[in-house]
Amino acid sequence: MVYLLLSVLFSSSLFVIFKYFDVYKIDTLKAIVVNYLVAFTLGFAITDSQVSFVDLPSESWFYGAMILGLLFVMIFFVMALASQKNGVSVASVASKMSVVIPVIFGVWLYDESLSFLKVLGIILALFAVYLSSLKETSKTSLVSSGLILPLILFLGSGAIDTLLKYIEINFVKTEEVAVFSGSLFGFAALFGLFILLVKTIKKPSPFGFKNLIAGVVLGVPNYYSIVFLIKALQHGGLESSSLFTVNNLAIVLLSTCIGFLVFKETFSTKNKIGIFLAVLAIVLVASAS
């Protein structure tokens, strides 16, 4: 449970950092690339594994890490596009509600339990995420907006969690968590660098020292959010279907509290109902496992 708590804390801190990106006019793409490089470096600097860099291609999880790295970059850009074209609230709903995908696969692939309380908690979780994400000022909706980007975001976010669980349970040894996490961030960095190179060729611009610093600040919690999530999957008392639900909802709750206390964000009645449902859903899912 400690690993799950740490994963939630580090994941929630990412939203705060991204909030300040807008304040300080950070080039998000450049910071993201640096962030992946930092996470990659951390993974190999603190690992207890005896796996050397040249031996990585022979690891059973190598190609899985490559696929995850590509998904990390792709879904980030889809999230950015969906936020711009469909609205931030739509992008948020599509991303958070994807928790249903790893839950379904957890029950199907790993014969995890599916009690009445867990089903009720998952249903409440979907309503909680939706209501918590609604903004009174938003004029967009999943019905009126194009569905392609939100659908890709929904499927992609769910695929990342599902694939992460599959690789962790089948291929990643306990002592290899750090190097595996570093490797998938390394692949994300490579794909991100390629995209940045193409963009720079089309429109050259200086990198900017503040973008470098922002990337370092983002990279450390981003790395540990994945490491502690994997450790929670390996050592936690919750089944993966329950863990992903609790993890996602806890991030929503903590991020919401930070928004209220730090950034003085206001909440509608629907937002407050969503927060209450999220608390109730966590209690139900956790007690059913």
Under the banding of pLDDT at 50, 70 and 90, the label for residue 9 is very high
pLDDT in tens, 175-211: 788 888 888 889 999 999 998 999 899 988 889 999 9
Question: Residue 144: its pLDDT value, please?
Answer: 43
Question: Residue 63: its pLDDT value, please?
Answer: 92
Q: Which helix (H) or strand (E) holds 52?
A: none
CB environment 17-50: b (16+ within 10 A), e (fewer): beeebeeeebbbbbbbbbbbbbbbbbbbeebebe
Of the candidates 33, 268, 285, 30, the one whose C-alpha atom is nearest the C-alpha of residue 130 is 268
DSSP 147-161: SHHHHHHHHHHHHHH
pLDDT in tens, 125-181: 778 777 766 665 544 444 444 567 778 888 888 899 899 888 988 888 887 888 888
**Residue 19, C-beta contacts closer than 8 angstroms, at least 6 positions apart:** 263
Mean of per-residue pLDDT scores for the chain: 81
Question: pTM above 0.85?
Answer: no
- Whether 113 shows a pLDDT value over 80: the answer reads no
Rg (CA), the chain: 19
- Whether 80 shows a pLDDT value over 70: the answer reads no
Share of the chain above pLDDT 70, in %: 85
Phi, psi of 59 (to 5 degrees): -70, 145
- Whether 91 shows a pLDDT value over 70: the answer reads no
Q: What is the mean pLDDT of residues 101-126?
A: 79
Question: Residue 210: its pLDDT value, please?
Answer: 94
Q: Using an 8 Å Cβ cutoff, are 108 and 100 in contact?
A: no
**Distances, alpha carbon 251 to alpha carbons 5, 95, 148, 228, in Å:** 10, 12, 26, 14
Strand positions, DSSP E, the chain: none
Phi, psi of 6 (to 5 degrees): -65, -40
- The larger pLDDT score, comparing residue 172 to residue 81, is at 172
Of the candidates 53, 47, 17, the one whose C-alpha atom is nearest the C-alpha of residue 32 is 17
